[in-house]
Amino acid sequence: MSSAHTNLDRILLPLDGSESAASIVPYVERLALGLGSSIHLLGVLSPIPAGDLPNDLTGTADVGAITQYIEIVKNRFEGSGLPVEVEIREGQASVEILESAAGHGCGLVALSTRGRSATGPNLLGITTDRIIRSSSIPVFVIPPDEDGGSVAPEGGVKTIVVGVDGSETATASLGPARQIARKLGVDVVIVRSTPPPDPLGGAATYFDSVTHHAEQYVTRVSEQFSTDGLSTRTVVGSLTAHEQLLEAADGADEPLLILSTRGWSNRADWQLGSVTDRVVRTAKYPVLIIPPAGRG
């Protein structure tokens, strides 16, 4: 099981001047205070696309407007005692965000799922989608609300809900989950789904065996967390994976979902795992997405 850790010292927060993107600011403020992180604020000026094709837009503000906007957010963070750096870049948003994160040693990228580039009620912003699929560091997102905007929860993180499926890739989420839970001193819920197979001969026996192994697996994971003095509970259920995760989050206090980008459901490096993709697009809660080891 993975023991990899995440660099929590510096959080990259790109903003585009939109109300939905700014909704993440209070939540990131509380998260950074809890983790002891500094903030790297980034404003990106993107070229206006020719024609109507989707593009990686973060906004159309000029340098003066975006600088003034970022300065207001900077003052807010500094008023809370957080160390803050400011950077303004020009170019394609996803490229500039990832280059900034690498250049400044950021360990997390915090994004709203909705900025100026989002176009539909169940779509990620184009920039957010590209970053999740290509980032080599964890990406923290606030999912869309029922009206298609992004509204961060008012409270902080009180529960970590981490999804596992028994695969090596999925265990990438365990190290960061333990690390963040220790930092914040919060409870942990470990979730695994074992949906029943089609009703064929011997299926019931097979399902009982799968459920038994799943319960043993999450118990071992729980014991790892318990060695750090963390309060944990496990959930093994017969819903589909994303439904099981969302149900567990619904029953948790102020949850943060932590998932790897790929488990058994997908082995293509350029795609999200189908479970993570569905959770990010439909969850009412913040989600931290852990990339596969070796992605660069």
How confident is the model over 22-63, as pLDDT tens digits? 788 989 999 999 999 999 999 888 765 433 333 344 444 578
- What is the value of pTM for the model shown? 0.83
Question: How many residues are listed for the chain in this entry?
Answer: 296
Structure-derived torsion over alpha carbons of residues 108, 114, 119, 123, reported in degrees to the nearest 10: 60
Q: Reduced to 3 states, what is the DSSP secondary structure of residue 278?
A: helix
- What range does the domain containing 184 cover? 159-278
Does residue 117 lie in a domain region? Answer: yes
Q: Residues of the chain with pLDDT > 90: what percent?
A: 44
**CA–CA separation, 136 vs 107, rounded Å?**
9
What total number of domains does the chain contain? 2
138 and 24 assigned to the same domain: yes
121 and 202 assigned to the same domain: no
H/E stretch holding 287 reads strand 287-290
Last residue of a domain, one of 95, 113, 142: 142
**CA–CA separation, 114 vs 192, rounded Å?**
29
Per-residue model confidence (pLDDT) at position 110? 94
23 and 119 assigned to the same domain: yes
Most confident of 24-28, 77-81, 150-154: 77-81
Most confident of 19-33, 248-262, 271-285: 248-262
Per DSSP, helices labelled H in the chain are 19-22, 25-35, 63-79, 93-103, 126-134, 174-184, 203-226, 241-250, 274-282
Does residue 68 lie in a domain region? Answer: yes
**CA–CA separation, 191 vs 208, rounded Å?**
17
How confident is the model over 173-204, as pLDDT tens digits? 899 999 999 999 999 999 998 876 655 555 55
118 and 22 assigned to the same domain: yes
Mean pLDDT, residues 258-271: 55
Does residue 244 lie in a domain region? Answer: yes
Last residue of a domain, one of 115, 142, 169: 142
